[in-house]
Structure 1
Amino acid sequence: MRSDKEMDQVFQEVIAVLDANKVTPEEADALTTALDTLNESRIKKE
């Protein structure tokens, strides 16, 4: 599993890609919610 530091890096990279692709705030919110859900399920498995 990835460490918190690695996950922070992944989130920063995702944000950079979203910015570069002119993703709307609404789309970004939906993706953030999905990532949060995935992260929560990952934490529960540990």
Structure 2
Amino acid sequence: MRTEFPELARHHYRANKLWSGSSFAGSVGGAPISVLCQYIEQHNRPG
């Protein structure tokens, strides 16, 4: 990927990695999809 997308190296040059070793697991507890969509739409995206 570094060869195809050299611009990525500018953002990840210190760790020399493109992804972190962390992981994420989540649950919505059976909430209806309409509630999930509303929640997502009302939150700001990371800047």
TM-score higher than 0.5: no
* TM-score normalised by length of structure 1: 0.38
Which protein, 1 or 2, shows the higher relative CO under an 8 Å CA cutoff with sep ≥ 6? Answer: 1
* TM-score normalised by length of structure 2: 0.38
> Which structure is larger by alpha-carbon Rg, 1 or 2?
2
